[in-house]
Amino acid sequence: MKYKLLSLNVGRPEVYQTDKGELESAYRKKPVQSMTFLTFLNFDGDEQADKKNHGGRDKAVCLYPAQHYRHWENHYDQPFSFPAFGENITVEGIEETNVHIGDIFQLGEAIVQVTEPRKPCYIIARTHGIEDFPAQVTASGYTGFYLRVLKEGDVTPGDMMTLIERHPDQISVSDVNNVRYHDRKNQDRIKRILKVDALSGSLRETLEKMLQKT
């Protein structure tokens, strides 16, 4: 399975104005046209403002599927341009339903692994001035997801993202989203997800707490 990298995006924290006041964030990333080195923590030129909830080894790269843009343009009747979802890489054809936690991909010279779905937060609403945006992303399942870097290397816009190893547990990103937002009391499904060795540490902690409350 091969998917094309349409846009590679980086940004550093900045303070910008929103309809609810100032916001410090690195959400407003910009596309780069040249080869960029991907380290174990991020792309060169990229940084996170909120390092407690973003970044780190388990969330070094944020991916958003390019085809989802068409859904949001129709839903809100307005255009969105890459990277409107604050993603590092915008990839055509990849889907939350057919990608699994622990799947390993070649991306340019780098090797990356899926770790958890991206959790939409208030920043997407503040940035676009659309109050219900996080709730709509959650409801649609079009969240995107995070990657950890297993091998550093150069990545160039237009590179192919190629599946090299499917995780044997085959827990899709959509499966995790469903438990996280819609089926929170399903102990069996939570336990199945927790068995996946490649799951990010932060999401593992969240699911363990959910399990304790059921």
CB atoms within 10 A of CB 144: 24
The pLDDT, as a whole number, for residue 44 is: 96
CATH match of 2-167 with 2.60.120.10: no
Alpha-carbon torsion 71, 75, 79, 81, what sign?
negative
74 secondary structure, DSSP code:
H
pLDDT in the model for residue 214:
73
Q: Looking at residue 53, what is its pLDDT?
A: 61
98 C-beta neighbours (distance < 10 Å), count: 13
**β-sheet bridge partners, residue 92:** 4
- Residue 192, pLDDT score: 96
Q: Which of 174, 194, 206, 201 is nearest to 65 (CA)?
A: 174
Tokens representing 192 are: 């199945």
Amino acid 21: pLDDT: 75
pTM here is 0.94
Give CA separation, 146 vs 43, 64, 100, 152, 185, in Å: 13, 9, 11, 16, 24
Given a contact cutoff of 8 angstroms between Cβ atoms, the answer to whether 139 and 83 are in contact is: no
| Pairwise CA distance, residues 115 & 161, whole Å | 16
Residue 109 tokens read as 């010279």
Regions of the chain short of the pLDDT cut 50: none
- Domain boundary assignment for the chain: 2-167
pLDDT single digits (tens) 7-51: 999 998 888 777 777 878 888 899 999 999 999 999 999 987 666
